[in-house]
Structure 1
Amino acid sequence: MPARIVPMIHVSNVAATADWYASIGFEIRGTNRECEHGEIDWALLRLGESEIMLSAGGRTSSDPRREFDLYTHVDDVDALRSRLDGKAEIVEDLHDTFSGMREFIIRDCNGFWITFGQPISQ
């Protein structure tokens, strides 16, 4: 199996964050409940071929930028931007980049940035 990287984001409330990601189109592929309190402490989410994991123990932030950003390749960035209208804070709206991508950036419910991009040639 080829190596692949699946980012893990540490968040203060895994269940609420997973629900937020599901509301913008991610699929919740799996969760784990910790034994002591029965709260969800881990989740696996997917959008197309992109996966992320959520883990308990992080914090939300209103800082302009967080420790990392997610970059997600999508097939139709314009359609996705339309579907997210009013569902997420837009950091940068649709634009074409020097690297040949058409993309936009949102902030998730914990303050992390997610860029959705598509090659301009598609």
Structure 2
Amino acid sequence: MSTYTAIKLTPMLESHDIPATLKFYTTILGFTCEAKFDDLSWFSLSKDGIEIMFCMPNEHRNMPKAVMSGSLYIKTNEVKQLWEILKDQCEICYPLEDFDYGMREFAIYDNNGYLLQFGQEL
């Protein structure tokens, strides 16, 4: 196996409604759009060192709907405050809860149906 240096991981997610996705992440979650194509077929977002990219379906990957078997887990130091802000603006997967594994967290769905979890160590 060859060796290489991995610098970072940036999720590239597919969206069938790019304008709504851009609005959700910038308006509701407070991300900044760092770059986008003029036709809005792709854009890149960032917030506090986190990067996410979104693209329209294309010939290389064209799923009938947005699909991800896992979730995006975002650690924060203000999970309770974030819950209070988001709970009435988003579809909830599970509410703010303390877990035996030492995390206080909640989960929402974005406008594409992707699961976003937010957690803080207890």
Shared topology, TM-score over 0.5?
Answer: yes
What TM-score do the two structures reach when normalised by structure 2?
0.80
Matched, 1:40 2:45: no
- Rounded to whole Å, the distance in 1 between the matches of 2:44 and 2:113 is 19
SS in 2 for 1:40: coil
1:1-122 equivalent positions in 2, closer than 5 A: 3-24=7-28, 25-33=30-38, 39-57=39-57, 59-60=64-65, 66-120=68-122
- Rounded to whole Å, the distance in 2 between the matches of 1:49 and 1:92 is 26
Structure 1: which amino acid aligns with 2:114? F
Identify, as 1 or 2, the structure richer in strand: 1
- Rounded to whole Å, the distance in 2 between the matches of 1:106 and 1:2 is 29
Q: Please, which runs of 5 or more residues in structure 1 have no aligned partner?
A: 34-38
SS in 1 for 2:37: strand
Report percent identity of matched pairs: 30
Paired residue total: 112
- Rounded to whole Å, the distance in 2 between the matches of 1:48 and 1:59 is 32
Cα RMSD after superposing both structures: 2.0
- Rounded to whole Å, the distance in 2 between the matches of 1:59 and 1:19 is 22
1:22: how far off? 1.1
1:60: how far off? 4.1
Tell whether the 8 Å contact from 1:59 to 1:110 is kept in structure 2 after alignment: no
Q: Please, which runs of 5 or more residues in structure 2 have no aligned partner?
A: 58-62
